[in-house]
Amino acid sequence: MVDNRFRVMSGVVNAADTPRSITPGTARRIWEFARPHRRGITAFVALTVVSAVIGVATPLLAGRVVDAIVRGGGTPGAAEIAAGVVLGLAAGIAALAVTDAVLGLVSRWFSARVGEQLIVDLRCAVYEHVQRMPIAFFTRTRTGALVSRLNNDVIGAQSAITSTLANLVSNSIALVLALVVMLGLAWQVTLCALVLLPVFVIPARRMGRRIADLRRESANLNASMSAQMTERFSAPGATLVTLFGRPAEEAGEFRDRAVRVRDIGVRTAMVSRVFVTALSLVSALAQALVYGLGGWLAVTGRIEAGTVVSLALLLTRLYSPMTALANARVDVMTALVSFERVFEVLDLVPMITERPGARAVPDGPVGVVFGDVHFGYPGAQQVSLASLEEVAVLDDRAGREVLHGIDLEVAPGTMLALVGSSGAGKSTIASLVPRLYDVDTGSVQVGGIDVRDLTFTSLRGAVGVVTQDGHLFHDTVAANLRYAAPGTTDDELWSALRRARLDDMVRSLPDGLGTVVGERGYRLSGGERQRLTIARLLLARPRVVILDEATAHLDSESEAAVQEALAEALAGRTAVVIAHRLSTVRAADTIAVVEDGRVVERGTHDDLLAAGGRYALLYRTQFATHPGVGGAGDEMCGIDGCTVPHGGPHGGPHRVHDLVD
C-alpha cells in the first residue's frame, strides 16, 4: 500500500525529471533583487579581480626566480647578484601571498554581507507576498512545500551571490590573464595546450543541464518531505496517525522519499565527480605536454628554463579556472533553479487586493448588505501552483457557482442568523464580509460601501470573526490575546478573560497570562480555546461580529458561560450568526434559511414556524426525540428559558437547543 501511494506521489515529483530550460527573464529578475546591493557587489568583484591578477603574477615571479638561479651559476659576482634577485623575488611572492590573503578575507566579508542580506530580502518578499494571498491559496497549498521555498530554495538562491558569482568573476579573469601571459611567453606551447579545450566545453553544456534537473527533482522531494513532516508533526496530524494505527506506514512512506533523495544525491555526486575527474585528467595531460614541449624548447635554447616553469604554473591557472567555470555552469543552473522556484511564488497574483483610493469604514454603527451575490470558489489555476500542491498538473476546472443571487440586509445593531443544512453555503456567505473571498457578481456592503472599496485596515478593524475552531498560535495566552489588539494592558486582558468567563482558568495556569497554549492551542480544552478566541474578539471591539458556530464545541456549562459573554460582546453591534443553538436563533432579528446557495426563507423565529416551510421542517426534525412536538396541550420545556412545546416529560436526549447545521 505504501509503495502504491508513493508511486502516485513520485509520479508527481517526477514531473521535474523531464529536462527543461530555466524560465526566460530569471537572470534579469535576480539582478533586480541584487541591484540595491550593487556597491557591495562592485567592491566584491573588484577585490576578486585583484586577487585573480595576483594569482597570475605569482607564476611569473616564480619563473624569474628559476631564470635568476640559472644565470647566477656562472661566476661568483653573478651568483651574488642572482642571489639578491632571488631574495627580492621571493619577498615579492611573499608580499603577494599576504596581500591575497587579506583581500580574500575582505572579499569574503563583502560576499557574506551581500549574500545574507539577499536571503533577508528574498524571505521577506516571499513572506509578505504570501500574506497577501487569498484563503483559497492556503486551502490548496501544502504548508511544508511552501516553507521549503522560504528555507531551502532561498538559501540555494543566496549561493548565487556568495559563491557562484565569486567563482565566475575570479576564474574568468584568471583564465583570460593566464591565456594572454602564456601566449606572450610561448605561443607554440600555449596553442598545443588548448587543443584539448573542446573536451571542457562539450561535457559542460550537457552535464550542467543534467545536474540542474537532478537538483530540481531533489528540491521537489525535499519539499515533499517537509510537507509530510509539517502535517504529521502537528498535534491533530499526530493524533490522526496514532488513532488509525499508521506510524509504520507513515515511516515507510517517508523513508521512500528519503531514499529517493539519497539516490538523487548519489547520482548528482557521481555525475559531478566523473565530470571533474575527466577535466582533471585532461589538465594533467596538458601539463605533461607543456613539460615535454616546453622542456624541449628550453633545451634547444628557444625559450628560458624559467619560462617552462611559469608555463607549467600558469597552466594550472588556465585549466583550473576552466574546470571551475565548467562546474560554475552547474552552480549557476542550480542557483537559477532555486531563484526560479522562489519567483514562482512571487509571480502568483493575489486575487484580493486593495483598490487605489480605498476608503475607511464610516464611523458609528454599520450595517451589512448582500446585493444579488453570485459566487464560486476560484479554480486552482487562479490561486495555486502544481509544485505547492504536489500534483503533476493543476486542476483546470473552474469553480462552480455555490451562491446564487443572495439578497440579505442586516441593519446596524441587529442580528441575522443563517440556518440550513450542512454545505448549504452559510459559512461562504459569512466569509464574504471580511473579504476572505470576493464575490463574482453583485456586492457586499459594510456601512453602505462595497467591501472591495474599503481599506484592508479599516475592514479588519470593523469586522470580527469567531469560527467553530478558533485558531491559536504556539505562544502565550497574552500574546494570542494581543494579536487582536497590540499594546493592550494586562488589566484589559484580564477584563476580556473575565467577560469570556475564562479568567479563573487562566489564573490557575502555571504562568497565568505567560502560559504557552501549544500549537493551535491544543494544551487547552476545546471550550477553553473557544472562550479564549471570544476574549480576543472582545479586545478587538469590532462593530460587525460574525459567529460561525462559535459554541459548537462547548459543553452545556461552557456554553452557558460563553453565551453570556457573547450577549455582552454583541450588544449594540451588527451580527451575522451561523446558527447552531436555538437560543441564538430565537434571539435573532432575522433568520435566513439557506439551501443550495439560495435564501429560501427569511423572517423571525415565530413567523417561520407559522409559515410551516423549510425552517419548520428543520425545527421539527431536531425535536423528533420529543413526542408530540407542536401538538395541542404540549408542555413547555423550561430549560434555559426555552419555551418550545414538547409532549410530556423528557423521554430522550434534550436536543431542543441543537439547531441543524
Domains and CATH numbers, the chain: 2-346 (1.20.1560.10), 368-598 (3.40.50.300), 612-661 (no CATH)
In this prediction, residue 658 has a pLDDT band, given cuts at 50, 70 and 90, of very low
Q: What is the pLDDT of residue 406?
A: 93
Q: What is the pLDDT of residue 329?
A: 67
CA distance 511 to 515: 5
In this structure, the number of other CB atoms found within 10 A of the CB of residue 619 comes to 21
Q: What is the pLDDT of residue 404?
A: 93
Q: What mean pLDDT is reported for the chain?
A: 75
Is the separation of the CB atoms in 408 and 420 below 8 Å? Answer: no
In this prediction, residue 441 has a pLDDT band, given cuts at 50, 70 and 90, of very high
Lowest-pLDDT range, 33-47, 202-216, 395-409, 486-500?
Answer: 202-216
The β-bridge partners of 464 are: 545
In this prediction, residue 375 has a pLDDT band, given cuts at 50, 70 and 90, of very high
Question: What is the mean pLDDT of the segment spanning 30-46?
Answer: 82
Position 114 pLDDT exceeds 70: yes
Lowest-pLDDT range, 169-173, 316-320, 421-425, 546-550?
Answer: 316-320
In this structure, the number of other CB atoms found within 10 A of the CB of residue 227 comes to 21
Lowest-pLDDT range, 72-86, 307-321, 501-515?
Answer: 72-86
CA distance 576 to 418: 7
Q: What is the pLDDT of residue 394?
A: 56
User: What's the Rg (C-alpha) of the chain?
Assistant: 37
Position 626 pLDDT exceeds 60: no
Say which residue, 52 or 481, is predicted with more confidence. 481
Q: What is the pLDDT of residue 405?
A: 92
User: Any idea what DSSP says for residue 373?
Assistant: E
CA distance 575 to 384: 33
Lowest-pLDDT range, 111-120, 153-162, 334-343?
Answer: 153-162
C-alpha distances (whole Å) from 224 to each of 123, 142, 257, 453 are: 20, 9, 8, 39
Which residues are within 8 A (CB) of 629 and not within 5 positions of it... i.e. 6 or more apart?
620, 623, 644, 645, 646, 647
CA distance 576 to 546: 5
Q: What is the pLDDT of residue 600?
A: 93
Q: What is the pLDDT of residue 16?
A: 36
3-state class (DSSP) for residue 476 = strand
Position 481 pLDDT exceeds 60: yes
Q: What is the pLDDT of residue 591?
A: 92
Highest mean pLDDT among 94-98, 100-104, 367-371: 367-371
Residue type, 210: R
In this prediction, residue 327 has a pLDDT band, given cuts at 50, 70 and 90, of low
Q: In Å, how far from its chain's centre is CA 256?
A: 24
The β-bridge partners of 371 are: 443
CA distance 162 to 489: 45
Question: What is the mean pLDDT of the segment spanning 546-574?
Answer: 72
Is the separation of the CB atoms in 388 and 141 below 8 Å? Answer: yes
Q: What is the pLDDT of residue 649?
A: 33
Highest mean pLDDT among 116-130, 262-276, 310-324, 617-631: 116-130
Highest mean pLDDT among 229-233, 444-448, 505-509, 558-562: 444-448
Say which residue, 293 or 542, is predicted with more confidence. 542
Which residues are within 8 A (CB) of 101 and not within 5 positions of it... i.e. 6 or more apart?
none
Q: What is the pLDDT of residue 21?
A: 57
pTM: 0.65
Position 113 pLDDT exceeds 50: yes
Position 491 pLDDT exceeds 80: yes
Position 487 pLDDT exceeds 90: no
Say which residue, 285 or 104, is predicted with more confidence. 104
Percent of residues, the chain, with pLDDT higher than 90: 11
In this prediction, residue 131 has a pLDDT band, given cuts at 50, 70 and 90, of confident
Question: What is the mean pLDDT of the segment spanning 639-661?
Answer: 35
In this structure, the number of other CB atoms found within 10 A of the CB of residue 282 comes to 17
Say which residue, 140 or 538, is predicted with more confidence. 538
In this prediction, residue 444 has a pLDDT band, given cuts at 50, 70 and 90, of very high
Highest mean pLDDT among 394-403, 420-429, 578-587, 591-600: 591-600
In this prediction, residue 73 has a pLDDT band, given cuts at 50, 70 and 90, of low
Position 159 pLDDT exceeds 60: yes
Position 372 pLDDT exceeds 90: yes
Q: What is the pLDDT of residue 210?
A: 72
Question: What is the mean pLDDT of the segment spanning 65-89?
Answer: 72
Q: Can you give the three-state secondary structure of 582-647, one letter per residue?
A: HHHHHHCCEEEEEECCEEEEEECHHHHHHHCCHHHHHHHHHHHHCCCCCCCCCEECCCCCCCCEEC
